[in-house]
Structure 1
């Protein structure tokens, strides 16, 4: 009886087909390596509507070195109609993030301008080195 059920199931699956969906995602396409010396750093991302996709994600994956005496705050922001940036996500990192990568990712809409904004939050910060990748990640079906 079990063999008949398995055989009928196999025939039905072959007849109707088993649709397979493959999802792909691109890694962050921009690489960076900079030093924060009592300042801020921002990366503006435009023209993300060039790629047709189901979902768009703004994010980064950084390695932060030398932030032992201070903290680094990284914000993911969207430009509004008034020219002001609205913060979508904020994360603070302190210490060295060599083993644990500083990362964040938020879902976004196309046809907007976005930026990643990094700043230090202490008077006693030494040279904080940040390196890694950032950008837009596209999620679409093949």
Structure 2
């Protein structure tokens, strides 16, 4: 009886396999630290097709300080063949956002040029300090 159980266990392990598949995502590769003074800041991301991956995600994780009553709009955009940018995602952040809590992520395709645009849209805004990480996350199998 014991041999039958061991044989059945071995057969099931061969049929269903014993290995597991692991997935990994790499964090955003670029760091930034800038101050918005009634202006627009654009962060460009290029050459994302160099790393073989299953999925690519463009995104950011920012800490926004010094906003108080102002609003900051952050857009994820892709450049088209004509050179114009198309907005893939847009978020408006009002007030202070600490510990990289201002974040957004969108699925993208490789071999395109992308940018992240941060703009102030409120009057009487002082200097807004933005700090964090941005870029592309790659979803790959180990």
With the length of structure 2 as denominator, give the TM-score of the two structures.
0.91
CA contact (8 A) 2:100 2:132 kept: no
Q: Sort the Cα spacing of 1:12 and 1:81 in 2 relative to 1 into closer, same or farther, 3 A.
A: same
CA distance in structure 1 between the partners assigned to 2:128 and 2:95 by the alignment: 10
- Write out aligned runs for 1:84-123 (5 A): 84-99=84-99, 101-123=101-123
In 2, the alpha carbon distance for the partners of 1:100 and 1:47 equals: 25
The answer for unaligned runs of 5 or more in structure 1 is none
- The answer to whether residue 43 in structure 2 is matched with residue 43 in structure 1 is yes
Q: What's the CA shift string for 1:13-57, capped at 9, x where partnerless? A: 322323311000100010011100000100111100100100000
Aligned counterparts of 1:31 and 1:78: Cα–Cα separation in 2:
20
Q: Name the Cα RMSD after superposition.
A: 2.1
Query: CA offset at residue 11 of structure 1?
Result: 2.7
User: 5+ unaligned residues in a row in structure 2: which ranges?
Assistant: none
TM-score (norm 1): 0.91
The alpha-carbon deviation at position 68 of structure 1 amounts to 1.1
Report the count of equivalent residues: 141
